[in-house]
Amino acid sequence: MPELPEVETIKNAVEKFACNARILSAQVRQPRLRELVPADFAERINGTRITGLTRIAKYMIINLNNGLSIIWHFGMSGKIKTEALMPKTLDKHDHIIITTDKGIIIYNDTRRFGLVTLCESEKLRQHRCFARIGLDPWDENLTADYLLNKFKNRKTAVKTALLDQEIICGIGNIYASEILYKARILPQRKAESVTAEEATEIISYTREILSDSIKAGGSTIHDYKRPDGDIGYFQQKHCVYNKTGQRCPDCKCNIQKSGGIQKDIQGGRSTFYCPVLQK
Ligand SMILES: [Zn+2]
Q: Give pLDDT tens digits for 9-61.
A: 889 989 999 999 999 999 999 999 999 999 999 999 999 999 999 999 889 99
CA of 18 to the centre of ligand 1 (A): 44
The torsion defined by the Cα of 80, 85, 88 and 92, in degrees rounded to 10, comes to 20
Residues 206, 210, 216: CA angle, nearest 5 degrees? 150
- Give start-end residues of each CATH 3.20.190.10 domain in the chain: 4-130
Residue 135's SS3 state is strand
Nearest to 110 by CA among 92, 87, 98, 89: 92
Residue 201: per-residue pLDDT? 98
- Give start-end residues of each CATH 1.10.8.50 domain in the chain: 144-273
Segment 64-114, tens digit of pLDDT: 999 999 999 999 889 899 999 999 999 999 999 999 999 999 999 999 999
- Among the options 11, 58, 79, 150, which is catalytic? 58
Q: Does the annotation mark 207 as catalytic? A: no
Residue 216: per-residue pLDDT? 74
- Among the options 29, 83, 269, 275, which is catalytic? 269
CA of 147 to the centre of ligand 1 (A): 26
Instruction: Record the pTM.
Output: 0.81
CA of 252 to the centre of ligand 1 (A): 7
Do 60 and 7 form a contact (C-beta atoms < 8 A)?
Answer: yes
Spatial distance between the Cα atoms of 124 and 116, rounded to a whole number of angstroms = 14
User: Domain 144-273 falls in which CATH fold?
Assistant: Helicase, Ruva Protein; domain 3 (1.10.8)
Residue 236: per-residue pLDDT? 57
The torsion defined by the Cα of 115, 119, 122 and 128, in degrees rounded to 10, comes to -60
Q: Which strands, in side-by-side order, build the sheet including 23-28?
A: 23-28, 94-100, 103-109, 78-83
CA of 244 to the centre of ligand 1 (A): 11
CA of 231 to the centre of ligand 1 (A): 33
CATH of domain 4-130: 3.20.190.10
Segment 251-268, tens digit of pLDDT: 988 888 889 999 999 999
pLDDT band at 167 (very low <50, low <70, confident <90, very high): very high
Q: Does the annotation mark 58 as catalytic? A: yes
Segment 191-244, tens digit of pLDDT: 999 999 999 999 999 999 989 888 776 444 333 333 344 544 444 578 999 999
- Among the options 3, 6, 178, 198, which is catalytic? 3
pLDDT of 182 strictly over 80: yes
Q: Does the annotation mark 269 as catalytic? A: yes
pLDDT band at 138 (very low <50, low <70, confident <90, very high): very high
CA of 277 to the centre of ligand 1 (A): 5
CA of 270 to the centre of ligand 1 (A): 18
